[in-house]
Amino acid sequence: MSHPSHARIHRIDSLIREGGYPSLGHLAKHLEVSERTIHRDLEHLRTDLQAPLHYSGEKKGYYYAGSSFSLPSVDFTEQEIFALLVAKNAILHYAGVPYEMHLRTAFRKLIELLPDECTLPTEDVEGSFSFRFGASRSIDREVLDLAVKALQCRHSLKIRYYTAGRDEENERMVDPYHIDNLRGDWYLIAYCHLRREIRNFALNRIRECHLLDRKFEPDPSFSYAEYIKDAFGIIVEEDPVEVAIEFRGFEARLARERNWHESQKIEERPDGSLLLRMRVTGLSEVKHMVLAAGGEARVIEPASLAAEVEKDLRRALERYAPQSPRKPPRPHKESG
């Protein structure tokens, strides 16, 4: 990416501040570059860095109107810029990420402020890292924008929400506390006036959303980190439960490589299997993880979760079991 020289911009700024009204030709000669390059640098100062740069026809040179302007101070190492570029790719992967254009502009400005000695090929970095988070749910961008706005100005939202578990919709007033993105899916963590407690709302299930004039003050005791501390995924329940899952074969090898939860403990067994122990909430999400592992995972505890997995597996087996062929009717024998 072509960008103005960090060192050259600072030198131009210094020469202008000296009050000598340097001309385009003087700056080009002093910095040993073309006048065209200096012209681009001056435009960068004026438009991108918002410098109060003016040209004096009488003095035939440039000056600053006022003394309050100062160049932003940026001192990044190549490794830090590398990390920021990778992070940008990860953030922009999420569909409908708030302030996408502002984020892109901010990163462009950071790159423009790189010092000359920085040799990091930014195009190569951005083209060499990708992030894929699987199938994520589509959301209405307007819903996300309204949720972000409500969160910023602390205004309540009126929403019409679809609850998949009960297959029903209802209206609620909620006070937004936090916006969460889990594996590409957006969630609003908010105080629900209908349920009188903090709940999670999948943004893709919000059918209608309206910003209310009503302001609210969030509960000062709420902490996002504490709220999701025991959650296995997005589902937060009151009391965490001790979970033990046995993995065998290929799934055991995969399980060793993963960080499932901060409370996890892995017990290795002589036969190559392992036992994963966790203290978590959200057993329905744990159940989906076990079912995805097929026959190489088995719930040891709690018994209620083992029973749920068994019930689902039996239901699946019934769907796959071949139907018994119906016997053709016996021919009717006429008497006589």
* pLDDT of the residue at 232: 87
Q: Note the pLDDT tens digit of each residue in 235-282.
A: 887 789 999 999 999 999 999 988 889 899 999 999 999 999 999 998
Name the domain boundary from 160, 194, 222: 222
d(CA 283, CA 276): 14
Name the domain boundary from 162, 195, 222: 222
* pLDDT of the residue at 216: 95
Q: How many domains does the chain have?
A: 4
Say if 334 falls within a structural domain: no
If asked whether residues 197 and 145 sit together in one domain, one would say yes
Q: At 33, which CATH number? A: 1.10.10
β-pairing verdict for 297-301 and 206-215: unpaired
Q: Which residues does residue 244 pair with via DSSP β-bridges, in sequence order?
A: 277, 301
The end-to-end CA distance of the chain, in Å, is 100
What global pTM score does this model have? 0.61
d(CA 64, CA 14): 11
Say if 327 falls within a structural domain: no
Q: At 156, which CATH number? A: 2.30.30
* pLDDT of the residue at 123: 60
d(CA 97, CA 186): 10
Q: Residues 182, 234: contact at Cβ < 8 Å?
A: yes
Q: Note the pLDDT tens digit of each residue in 202-238.
A: 999 999 999 999 999 999 999 998 888 888 888 887 7
d(CA 308, CA 193): 32
Say if 136 falls within a structural domain: no
Q: Which residues does residue 149 pair with via DSSP β-bridges, in sequence order?
A: none
Token pair in block for residue 242: 């001790």
Structural domain that includes position 313: 241-320
pLDDT, mean of each 10-residue run, the chain (336 residues)? 67 89 92 91 88 91 86 67 73 64 72 58 62 72 89 94 89 94 87 93 94 94 89 82 95 90 92 94 92 93 95 91 63 49
